[in-house]
Structure 1
Amino acid sequence: MRDSFCEDLLPPREQWPDFLLDRPEFHYPPRLNCAVELLDRNVTCGRGDHPALITPAETLSYAQLADRVDRIARVLVDRLGLVSGNRVLLRSANNAWMVAATFAVLKAGGVVVATMPLLRAKELSQMLRKARITHALCDARLAHELRKADAPDLRHLVTWDEGELEAMVAVAAPGFTAHDTAAEDICLIGFTSGSTGEPKATLHFHRDMLAICDGYAMQVLRPDPSDIFIGSPPLAFTFGLGGLVLFPFRVGATAVLLERAPPEDLPAAIARHRATICFTAPTAYRVMAAHAAQHDFSSLRKCVSAGETLPRAIYDAWLAATGLKLMDGIGATEMLHIFISATEDRIRPGATGLPVPGYLARVVDEQGAEVPRGTPGRLAVKGPTGCRYLDDPRQAQYVQHGWNITGDTYTQDADGYFWYQARNDDMIISAGYNIAGPEVEAALLTHPAVAECGVVGAPDAERGMVVRAYVVPKPGFLPDAALTKALQDHVKAEIAPFKYPRSVVFVEALPRTETGKLQRFALRQQAKSGT
């Protein structure tokens, strides 16, 4: 018996992107279960005693984690009636139970739908209804909003932390034979983070979970079993799932999971655990770089920045503070993980990088034709992963002529490097000039008074639009007319003068998604309303 809901609501085949699977590392057998490949294989290959997860509450070896996964899978199938294809909502901060629940669902043939801890009942209701969620496993500390949500298809809600799931697991029989899944069976629904408005549900196969490991992780990041991974992105964010679970497990390394990892706390955890690979967002690296002298970063050997664009000022500050080159990268929930980046020896500061081996990328115009090098245009990419939305007409916008159109404006230089300009809808056209909001943000961030900033276009009768900067000033700086002029003059000196913000609004905080992405669409709404 199989629940075919996801397969039934896949977009038509003619709307799928082209998948590039010709490289040997992407030659997967027609039948595979990614939980077996990513977790069980570490046990069968003799790494069962190696630490898989380290958390403040517990440390689990690969064998111990595999045992917990098997018992949760038995609970799901034997007690809760899970059949392959059922969608299981997971709700938790980053901890060992969240990882175990994820692999249990995968191993049982279910479909993982992970949710950010800060989501409220209204947002959860949208996901529960759209994905027709039948089962939920939830940290008891986060169950209140889930219980308030509208969930017409939810049959079972089981919590951990207060002992409910733990008691079921304790009496479950050990051992579980993985469900015989196909490489192209859907195993994950990733909801987009909402940085561009209404979230979309993206569908991913078992083979996709391996492809991001065998592509970006093995070809660009290149970890080894002795590595200790650490970072801040939630596991419900595919950046976090890959960087903190899938990538270390693919090579039998160790992951440190922290339920809270703000940039003020992450450095101490890096030193305590002697972490070697860090995944976090540019804003976190900016904060950590400013206080690097107070912390021990000597164990780090690779640092990955993604989630939003990496300004050159942050790259330079981290390099000066630690001697490490930040590995920038662009990924997307639709693509599952990073598809443009560069190994440390090929980093070009300020550029996002080169296509990850296995991916093709180009810059195209509105008709899909490639534009000359150095000309801004839409980023188009294809590779072993790609966009398949669940029952969403926006599929036809994201996939065009077999290419994934990511929604980003880029240029490509003569050497093939890709340089981020803006999200397509972040380009500001003012008096005939095209101005990229992130470029103005990067200039503002080099001023000592600026803690954070967001730049969008504001309506203007004379110019059509003007550049408006929403600025969070650092403590000790007075948000007044003098500071406004200082910031404007600073931008004029940093980049072309016509790009300076004619309007500066000082704010206490910027709107961000739970993954830390700046919600420029919210700022555009504010600018449109005159605030």
Structure 2
Amino acid sequence: MTLSRSAHVDTFARDSLPPAHLWPTLEFTIPDVLYPERLNAAVELLDRTIDELGADRTAILLADGTIWSYGELRRRADQFAQVLTEDLGLVPGNRVLLRMLNGPWTVACWLGALRAGMIVVTTMVAWKARELRPIAERVQPRVAIVDRRGVEDAEIAFAEMHTPPAIVVAGGDDDELVRACDSKRGVFDPVGTAADDVALLGATSGTTGVPKITMHFHRDILANADTFARHVLHLTADDVSASTAPLAFTFGLGGNVVFPLRTGGAMVLVERATPIELAKLIEPLGITVLYTAPTGYRSIIKEGLAGELRRLRIGVAAGEHLTISTFEAVEAASGLRLINGIGATEMLHVFISASGDDIRPGATGRAVPGYRATILDDDGRELGAGEPGRLAVIGPTGCRYLDDERQSVYVHGGWNITGDTFVQDEDGYFTFQARNDSMIVTAGYNVGAPEVEEVVLSHDDVLECAVIGCLDPERGMIVAAFVVPREGIAPSDALTADILDHVKAHLAVYKCPRRIDYLTELPRNPSGKVQHFILRERAAAALDLAVSDTQGA
């Protein structure tokens, strides 16, 4: 492995890459992913599109009818690049942390930082200080652009850092970000970064509660657009895309920003988009491509908005398992055949999927062109058709954790091991079986069970706690907590409410349990380890009983 000459003055990222022998195998097997040595992803996404389709083309649509053209987006991005370099003194390779909701300025900052040769770290405004702090400590940002509604937690998170980042507040009556950008001409000469210069640092929802930081190159940003978006979704310049996922998640970043810009299309941005809210915007804004979790499509149908789905050209369901029942319910109600897919923060976006006549309900799909996948046993041997095992994938993107010994857990023998159990059939279709770890995938969000357990355990009235993913007929999967109260404390609705308030004060709302069951003791094996499978069986039995009671009624 030989890296290109870096444009980064600050060598933090290159210095933090995993050792070469722990890298996954990278393959560039289709012409679309053969990139030149010097490559700036933001230049490719903006300048190339403007050169081909014009600066007046619509790039961003807002619910109130506001439109940003490609030319306006580039001008704003370049203004931000000027602020970073001229006012804040940043140099290529410095990290810029974004703590912003979905909006045009978020996109402008993301692109502007890349154009200036910086490394972007996107984070959720919903994260509390305890969630943000370890990420900031790991990536050491020089500057943080923070939505005014997230400033307090950001200040707490940064307070104990040896070198806390400068905070620029975005939004509100006195918008520091816009005021600073308005003082610039918006003309900036983009940095000639290497294709393998790190562009993004993305945090995963780790099962240990300690976030892993994934490292993505400039070429990686384009690779998912040039594989999944081009060969499976077949996006065009006429498409208008919308996603419920925050731009802090790579699923939302790809579908709502990178893919439209790469193909000359437009994006619809809503700060906290719900499936229902986006469904109501399909007709007025001309949305043709929607990305949301399977449960999102179910909620749209239940709200009587199936007619809006009929207007879509593409519906992508990812972030959690798409069941046959959900696929069939959406198709029956709207005629829309949902495109299933599995991706990972480590891989940046979707690498197994199928569309059109290639869709097989119940199966996730086949390896996206440019990727190859297989099923491995516990010893790393490839299994045959019909044998369940560990899903493994190789392609033009791959896992690289920032200075993290867990690199050797995700990568084995060159393969990226996703942590999922799948089975492959003789035609190359992959079907999901289960997660292999304590990750809970709920409504498109990844939740690490140990992180939730730690917070529940910090409640004064909780003696023990175990958190699992529990099947739910409405949401697919929910976070469920089994709690042993301390001596003298009786289970009650008041205790449940107090525990939930405690969790919400320390974690993002999507990580909070939607169900709390009380036990006198947790099931444990002879060595003292909690037997989570018994809790899952108990939850499944309770669900079966509830369904039976409903059907009997």
TM-score (norm 1): 0.83
State the alpha-carbon separation in 2 of the partners of residues 194 and 307 from structure 1.
15
2:537 partner amino acid? R
2:32 aligns to what? 25
Q: Is the 8 A contact 2:98 2:106 kept in 1?
A: yes
Q: Using the alignment, how far apart are the partners of 1:168 and 1:410 within structure 2? A: 50
Alignment partners' CA distance in 1, 2:305 and 2:83? 49
For residue 72 of structure 2, what is the amino acid of its counterpart?
A: Q
Corresponding residue of 1:36: 43
Question: Shift in Å at residue 371 of structure 1?
Answer: 1.1
Cα contact 1:186–1:205 (8 A) shared by 2: yes
Q: Where does residue 422 of structure 1 map in the other structure? A: 434
How far 1:198 sits from its partner (Å)? 2.9
Partners of 2:102 and 2:246 within 8 A in 1: yes
Q: Provide the C-alpha distance between the structure 1 equivalents of 2:310 and 2:354, rounded to a whole number of angstroms.
A: 22
Task: Return the match for 2:402 from 361, 383, 390.
Answer: 390
SS of match in other structure, 2:309: coil
Q: Write the distance in 2 (CA, Å) between the matches of 1:452 and 1:421.
A: 14
1:271·1:295 contact (CA, 8 Å) conserved in 2? no
Per the alignment, residue 223 of structure 1 pairs with 235
Q: Counterpart amino acid of 2:267?
A: A
Aligned equivalent of 2:547: 487
CA distance in 1, matches of 2:432, 2:188: 46
Query: Which residue, 186, 204, 208 being the options, matches 1:192?
Result: 204
Q: Distance in 2 between matches of 1:210 and 1:78?
A: 28
Query: Does the C-alpha gap of structure 1 residues 344 and 149 become closer, same or farther in structure 2, counting only changes over 3 Å?
Result: same
Aligned pair partner of 1:325 in 312, 315, 337: 337
* Partner Cα distance (1:251, 1:452) in 2: 33
Distance in 1, matches of 2:9 and 2:47, equals 24
Q: Deviations over 1:451-502 (max 9, x none)?
A: 655599984789x74343648xxxxxxxx98x863536999xxxxxxxxxxx
Residue 255 (structure 2) pairs with residue 243 (structure 1): yes
Aligned to 2:386: 374
Aligned mates of 2:102, 2:376 — CA distance in 1 = 38
What is the identity percentage for the equivalent residue pairs of Structure 1 and Structure 2? Answer: 45
Selected match of 1:157 from 158, 163, 167: 167
Within a 5 Å distance, the mapping from 1:132-143 to structure 2 comes to: 132-143=140-151
The one-letter code sitting in structure 2 at the alignment partner of 1:7 is R
Q: Is the 8 A contact 1:376 1:409 kept in 2?
A: yes
Equivalences, count: 467
Q: Distance in 2 between matches of 1:53 and 1:289?
A: 27
Question: CA deviation digits over 1:358-417, x for unaligned, max 9?
Answer: 101000001110112111100010000000000111000100100000100000011110
Shift of 1:24: 0.9
- Unpaired runs of 5+ in structure 2? 1-7, 440-467, 483-521
Relative distance call for 1:65 and 1:414 in structure 2 (3 A) is same
How far residue 153 of structure 1 moved from its aligned partner, in angstroms, is: 2.5
Structure 1 Cα separation of the partners of residues 332 and 113 of structure 2: 44
Unaligned runs of 5+ in 1: 428-436, 472-479, 492-531
Task: Tell me if 1:166 matches 2:226.
Answer: no
Counterpart residue number, 1:106: 114
Instruction: Give me the whole-angstrom Cα distance separating, in 1, the residues matched to 2:431 and 2:208.
Output: 21
1:120 maps onto 2:92 in alignment = no
Residue of structure 2 equivalent to 1:363: 375
Shift of 1:199: 2.1
**SS of equivalent to 2:201:** strand
Secondary structure at 1:406 match in 2? strand
- Following superposition of structure 1 onto structure 2, how do residues 81-480 of structure 1 map, counting pairs within 5 Å? 81-150=89-158, 151-162=161-172, 163-194=175-206, 197-293=209-305, 295-425=307-437, 441=471, 445=473, 453-454=477-478, 459=523, 465-466=533-534, 467-468=536-537, 470=539
The one-letter amino acid of 1:208's match is D
CA change 1:131–1:159 in 2 (3 A) is: same
Instruction: Check conservation: 1:453, 1:469, Cα contact below 8 A.
Output: no
| TM-aligned CA distance change 1:263 to 1:19, over 3 Å | same
Please give the alpha-carbon distance, in whole angstroms, between the structure 1 residues aligned to 2:475 and 2:253: 29
Counterpart Cα distance in 1 of 2:30 and 2:226: 10
SS in 2 for 1:349: coil
Alignment RMSD, CA only?
2.6
2:14 aligned with 1:7, yes or no?
yes
Taking a change above 3 Å as real, the CA distance of residues 484 and 339 of structure 1, as seen in their structure-2 partners, is: closer
Q: Deviations over 1:23-72 (max 9, x none)?
A: 21111000010000001212222321111001236310000110000111
1:123 alignment partner, SS class? helix
Aligned pairs for 1:58-77 within 5 A: 58-77=66-85
**C-alpha distance in structure 2 between counterparts of 1:71 and 1:340, whole Å:** 38
Q: Retained in 2: the 8 A contact 1:455–1:468?
A: no
Give the distance between the partners of 1:264 and 1:194, measured in 2 at CA. 29
Quote the residue 2:496 is aligned against.
none
Instruction: State how far apart, in whole Å, the 1-side matches of 2:51 and 2:267 are.
Output: 19
Deviation of 1:342 after TM superposition, in Å, equals 0.5
Shift in CA distance, 52/7, structure 1 to aligned 2, threshold 3 Å: same
Q: Distance in 2 between matches of 1:206 and 1:380?
A: 23
Contact 1:454–1:469 (CA under 8 A) maintained in structure 2: no
Q: Partners of 1:226 and 1:149 in 2: how far apart?
A: 42
Which whole-Å CA distance do the structure 2 matches of 1:486 and 1:180 have between them? Answer: 60
Alignment partner of 1:56 out of 54, 59, 63: 63
Give me the whole-angstrom Cα distance separating, in 2, the residues matched to 1:269 and 1:129. Answer: 39
CA contact (8 A) 1:454 1:470 kept: no
Please give the secondary structure, in 2, of the residue aligned with 1:103: helix
Aligned CA distance change for structure 1 residues 224 and 187 (closer, same or farther; 3 Å): same
Cα 1:459–1:418 shift into 2, 3 Å: farther
Aligned residues of 2:375 and 2:424 also touching (Cα < 8 A): yes
Following superposition, the deviation at residue 207 of structure 1 comes to 0.3
Which residue in the other structure is 1:494 paired with?
Answer: none
* 1:498 corresponds to: none
Pair 1:293–1:7, CA change in 2 (3 A): closer
8 Å contact kept, 1:136–1:154:
no
What is the distance in 1 between the residues matched to 2:538 and 2:262?
Answer: 43
**Would the alpha carbon gap of residues 74 and 451 (structure 1) be closer, same or farther in structure 2, given more than 3 Å must change?**
closer
Q: State the shift of 1:297 in Å.
A: 2.9
